[in-house]
Amino acid sequence: MDTIFNAKWIKAPRYRHDAALTFSKRFPAKDVKKATLQVTARGVYNCFLNGKSVTDSVLNPGWTDYYKRLQYQTWDVTGLLKASNKIEIRAGKGWFFHNWYDTDSKIVKPDEPAVIAALTLTFADGSQQVIATDESWGVTENEVRYNNIYNGETIDYTYAPKRPVKAAAIDYPKDILIPQEGEMILEQERFPGVKLIVTPKGETVIDFGQEVTGYITFDTPANTKRKITVTHFEMLDKNGNVYTKNYRSAKALLTVVPDGKVHTVKPAYTFFGFRYIAVKGMKVTDPAQFTAIAVYSDMKVTGHFECSDPMINQLFHNIMWGQRGNFLDIPTDCPQRDERFGWTGDAQVFCKVASYNFDTEKFFNKWLADLRSMQTAEGSIPSFVPVNGKYGDGSAAWADVCTILPWQMYLTYGHKQVLKDNFSMMKKWVDCMRRWAEKKDVGDDFQKSRDPFLHNNHWHFGDWLAQDLPDQEECSGATDHDYIATAFFAYSTSLLVKAGKALGKDMTKYEELYGNIVKAFRKEYVKEDGTLTNDTQTACVLALHFDLVENRDAAAKQLVRLVKEWGHLTTGFVGTPYLLHALSDIGESRLAYDLLLRKEFPSWCYPITQGATTMWERWNGYKPDGTFATPGMNSFNHYAYGAVGDWMYENMAGIRQQEGSCGFRELLFAPETDDRFDWVSASIDTVNGTAAAKWERTGGKIRYTFTVPPKTTAQAVVNGKKYALCEGINEITA
Ligand code: BGC
């Protein structure tokens, strides 16, 4: 068993609620061949041996379902040892303390930071000594006088830490400790400030030119003790002044009290989502005095996309940065306001393109373990995971992440283990929906159909942030929520059947269930002429993309009519990811391109005309008249609508898998060209190597270049003609 299990959890005997703590221990060391440190915290920690940082990752130990799962990290610290040593673990409050915490919990009482660690010294003769946390460690407050994930940090360099007092051992569970599962959270790109702005109100603002998630670093000026405050924000208002209302209660503030010496400031127990900062209390002459550091899970980039239209290239850039900004240990909705939660719907919507852009297998496997851990006894899934409390909300398209995500991971990476790990969660969720659908027990005034296969007896978010209601601020969209729920009930059941079959299981019972749901759906929601009772784009998109209707032609015509009548997309979180796929599938590729290329509100490119460097949460986040959507919910770094990226890889560039393929083992290159582009090029680093597709216009024809990785079969379809491809580079001109 790992030595950390022999250590004791320790905390400060008395705790002044906001300060960060330094736990420390001195020890001699001689003839040590290897030194390994295992450590974790109730809070977030960083760690130093003889003043040198042990951790190259930040915001350790990350965020998991702390009730049952708390990761510890293992570090090789051999190179940092001396004859006499001092180890320091600095801990802040972290995610344990966020305000939605379930205070009734008997299991987790995260009222103050605590740490547990074990340093194992292996000597030249093979013997070992373990230096583990216990009451012999010292603890004191440090110069971080305030820390809070959402509000920021106060670093006071004039504070003289008191002598350490003896730490108190606490009885806190150790059976929740698990070795690191996810990717480490690292400091990644650095952006020196590019523009110094004095706003009309006189605020000193620095623009980093890119919205990032992370924090800033800068040097304090010498010879002054004047307090410096740095406010982080995403947007200037129409007059060019600082706009922070959309952060809601999150203060996102860094406060520094210098002591006259030069210190390189960098917070350690918080992060912010921002493109700009407003600085007070310090003379700024050069924007590059400040650098923004992007912080996110260390995923390898696997996807590339480029084309002849700079606007679409910027869209791809924004999709990538939406992912970088929101894949900080868990897939968050947004990185700035007082949420930053693992919203299940958002992850569901985005997981396909996420897995093309970056290698997300490890990242999502860890989060899937938290989903499993948080699934309720009845089989429902909370709206966000992890949550420090229990909420089994079970909204359609949110909870369905538990079927859609494992299936997508299987499709992208081709490893059956993800299906094995998650099959029972998938099944429990489908069974749960089935019970909800069967149990029409809402009293005598229940007017809806009592068909036991219609999922019409539960609350849902709906087609979140759709633009088809008269009030644009209204969130839940015009598409009937029960329609969406029944469509996803069918879809999740179909994925469960596929997963079961891939695992060699008899799925007859669920195939029958699927058939019954589709029958009920058709009876309730398809009119005699084949059109759908719900006259919305999202309703048509779901019916087509989930293959729920017999008369596809009628649904297709209805969708085309709706897109043309509106003149733009109206879909929200539920319909948007599939909209362009549905149009391409019914042969309306040009219309799909029209929507992609539209620059006016609402559209994917409208935010780009407003200077966006990440995806916005709402189509109407910043309106053409220069006003903002409600500050109650208006993030400028929300990846969900970036789901369009998978259409860019699959349909524009044409990199797809054959039906039934997983891990990109059977490729189908089928680009949809459009005369508004001279060329399109994309690649995905699959488990077997890089699959790439490029098309470019040349003398009235189009030259296609397809790259096929090893151990892969590949076919191309160009102008309706099929070509068998071989490993390596294949060229076709047609
Ligand atoms: C989040 C969303 C989330 C939604 C639930 C919002 O506050 O930011 O992205 O999915 O709530 O509908």
| C-alpha to C-alpha distance for 41 and 272, rounded to whole angstroms | 21
- Can you state the angle between helices 417-438 and 481-502, rounded to 10 degrees? 140
In the reported structure, the alpha carbon of residue 343 is separated from the centroid of ligand 1 by a whole-number distance in angstroms of: 6
Cα atoms found within 13 Å of the Cα of residue 485, Cβ hemisphere only: 21
- Name the pTM for this structure: 0.96
Both 139 and 270 in a single domain?
Answer: no
Residue 542 placed within a domain: no
Query: What one-character DSSP code corresponds to residue 299?
Result: P
The confidence score (pLDDT) of residue 111 equals: 66
Ligand 1 pocket, 464 CB below 6 A?
yes
The pLDDT of residue 74 is above 70: yes
- The mean pLDDT value for 454-462 works out to 93
Ligand 1 pocket, 361 CB below 6 A?
no
Vertex 627, ends 626 and 628: CA angle to 5°? Answer: 125
Ligand 1 pocket, 672 CB below 6 A?
no
| C-alpha to C-alpha distance for 22 and 88, rounded to whole angstroms | 6
Residue 167 placed within a domain: yes
The confidence score (pLDDT) of residue 442 equals: 55
The confidence score (pLDDT) of residue 103 equals: 44
Ligand 1 pocket, 345 CB below 6 A?
yes
- The mean pLDDT value for 342-369 works out to 98
Spatial CB neighbours of 339, under 8 Å, sequence gap ≥ 6: 332, 333
| C-alpha to C-alpha distance for 342 and 535, rounded to whole angstroms | 32
State the pairing for strand pair 32-42/242-243: unpaired
Both 141 and 40 in a single domain?
Answer: yes
State the pairing for strand pair 713-718/666-669: parallel
CATH number at residue 681: 2.60.420.10
Nearest CA to ligand 1 atom 5: 461
The confidence score (pLDDT) of residue 107 equals: 41
In the reported structure, the alpha carbon of residue 444 is separated from the centroid of ligand 1 by a whole-number distance in angstroms of: 33
Residue 274 placed within a domain: yes
The confidence score (pLDDT) of residue 204 equals: 98
Both 139 and 281 in a single domain?
Answer: no
Coil vs helix vs strand at 674: coil
Q: Quick one: what percent of the chain has pLDDT higher than 70?
A: 96
Both 138 and 201 in a single domain?
Answer: no
The pLDDT of residue 194 is above 50: yes
Ligand 1 pocket, 350 CB below 6 A?
no
More confidently predicted of 35 and 392: 35
The pLDDT of residue 108 is above 50: no
Both 172 and 245 in a single domain?
Answer: no
Element (H, E) at 34: strand 32-42
Nearest CA to ligand 1 atom 8: 333
- The mean pLDDT value for 700-712 works out to 97
| C-alpha to C-alpha distance for 497 and 503, rounded to whole angstroms | 10
| C-alpha to C-alpha distance for 685 and 541, rounded to whole angstroms | 29
Residue 705 placed within a domain: yes
The pLDDT of residue 695 is above 90: yes
Both 117 and 9 in a single domain?
Answer: yes
Residue 415 placed within a domain: no
Coil vs helix vs strand at 333: coil
Both 174 and 54 in a single domain?
Answer: yes
Coil vs helix vs strand at 166: strand
Both 136 and 11 in a single domain?
Answer: yes
The pLDDT of residue 188 is above 60: yes
C-alpha distance from residue 557 to each of 337, 567, 585 (Å): 41, 15, 12
Task: List, in sequence order, every residue forming a beta bridge with 22; answer none if it has no partner.
Answer: 90, 140
Residue 339 bears catalytic tag: yes
| C-alpha to C-alpha distance for 239 and 245, rounded to whole angstroms | 15
State the pairing for strand pair 264-265/195-198: unpaired
- The mean pLDDT value for 334-341 works out to 91
- State the catalytic residue, choosing from 153, 183, 339, 650: 339
Fill in the amino acid letter for 413. Answer: Y
The confidence score (pLDDT) of residue 388 equals: 59
The pLDDT of residue 247 is above 50: yes
Minimum-distance ligand 1 atom for the alpha carbon of 635? 8
Q: What is the pLDDT of residues 545-598, one digit of tens each?
A: 999 999 999 999 999 999 999 999 999 999 999 999 999 999 999 999 999 999
Query: Does residue 287 have a cis bond before it (omega within 30 degrees)?
Result: no
Q: What is the pLDDT of residues 254-279, one digit of tens each?
A: 999 999 999 999 999 999 999 999 99
The confidence score (pLDDT) of residue 450 equals: 81
- The mean pLDDT value for 115-134 works out to 96
Both 66 and 110 in a single domain?
Answer: yes
Range of the domain at 680: 666-733
Coil vs helix vs strand at 136: coil
Pocket test for ligand 1, best of 340, 343, 481 (most atoms within 8 A of CB): 343
CATH number at residue 278: 2.60.120.260
Both 118 and 79 in a single domain?
Answer: yes
Q: How confident is the model at residue 448 (pLDDT cuts 50, 70, 90)?
A: confident
In the reported structure, the alpha carbon of residue 109 is separated from the centroid of ligand 1 by a whole-number distance in angstroms of: 27
Q: Decide which of 264, 297, 330 is a domain's last residue.
A: 297
Residue 285 placed within a domain: yes
- State the catalytic residue, choosing from 588, 617, 650, 672: 617
Count of positions (residues) in the chain: 734
| C-alpha to C-alpha distance for 397 and 579, rounded to whole angstroms | 15
Minimum-distance ligand 1 atom for the alpha carbon of 345? 10
Minimum-distance ligand 1 atom for the alpha carbon of 343? 10
- The mean pLDDT value for 185-209 works out to 98
Ligand 1 pocket, 334 CB below 6 A?
yes
The pLDDT of residue 444 is above 70: no
Question: No. of H helices and E strands in the chain?
Answer: 13, 36
Q: What is the pLDDT of residues 635-654, one digit of tens each?
A: 999 999 999 999 999 999 99
Q: What spatial distance separates the first Cα and last Cα of the chain, rounded to whole Å?
A: 63
Q: What is the pLDDT of residues 87-106, one digit of tens each?
A: 999 999 998 876 444 444 44
Number of domains in the chain: 3
Residue 53 placed within a domain: yes
Give the residue among 521, 567, 568 at the shortest CA–CA distance from 544: 521
Fill in the amino acid letter for 725. Answer: L
In the reported structure, the alpha carbon of residue 392 is separated from the centroid of ligand 1 by a whole-number distance in angstroms of: 15
Backbone angles phi, psi at 555, to 5 degrees: -65, -35
Q: What is the pLDDT of residues 483-500, one digit of tens each?
A: 999 999 999 999 999 999
Both 124 and 190 in a single domain?
Answer: no
Q: How confident is the model at residue 158 (pLDDT cuts 50, 70, 90)?
A: very high
The pLDDT of residue 83 is above 60: yes
The confidence score (pLDDT) of residue 98 equals: 63
More confidently predicted of 37 and 96: 37
Q: How confident is the model at residue 390 (pLDDT cuts 50, 70, 90)?
A: low
Ligand 1 pocket, 633 CB below 6 A?
yes
Spatial CB neighbours of 625, under 8 Å, sequence gap ≥ 6: none
Ligand 1 pocket, 396 CB below 6 A?
no
Q: How far is CA 214 from the centre of its chain?
A: 14
| C-alpha to C-alpha distance for 289 and 193, rounded to whole angstroms | 7
CB distance 211 to 613 below 8 Å: yes
| C-alpha to C-alpha distance for 429 and 427, rounded to whole angstroms | 5
The pLDDT of residue 394 is above 90: yes
Ligand 1 pocket, 339 CB below 6 A?
yes
CB distance 595 to 580 below 8 Å: yes
Task: List, in sequence order, every residue forming a beta bridge with 131; answer none if it has no partner.
Answer: 119
The confidence score (pLDDT) of residue 104 equals: 45
Spatial CB neighbours of 624, under 8 Å, sequence gap ≥ 6: 600, 601
Pocket test for ligand 1, best of 150, 333, 401 (most atoms within 8 A of CB): 333
Ligand 1 pocket, 461 CB below 6 A?
yes
Q: What is the pLDDT of residues 586-621, one digit of tens each?
A: 999 999 999 999 999 999 999 999 999 999 999 889
The pLDDT of residue 112 is above 90: no
Task: List, in sequence order, every residue forming a beta bridge with 169; answer none if it has no partner.
Answer: 10
Spatial CB neighbours of 528, under 8 Å, sequence gap ≥ 6: none
Both 104 and 190 in a single domain?
Answer: no
| C-alpha to C-alpha distance for 48 and 51, rounded to whole angstroms | 5
Q: Give the chain's mean pLDDT.
A: 95
Backbone angles phi, psi at 662, to 5 degrees: -140, 160
Residue 361 placed within a domain: no
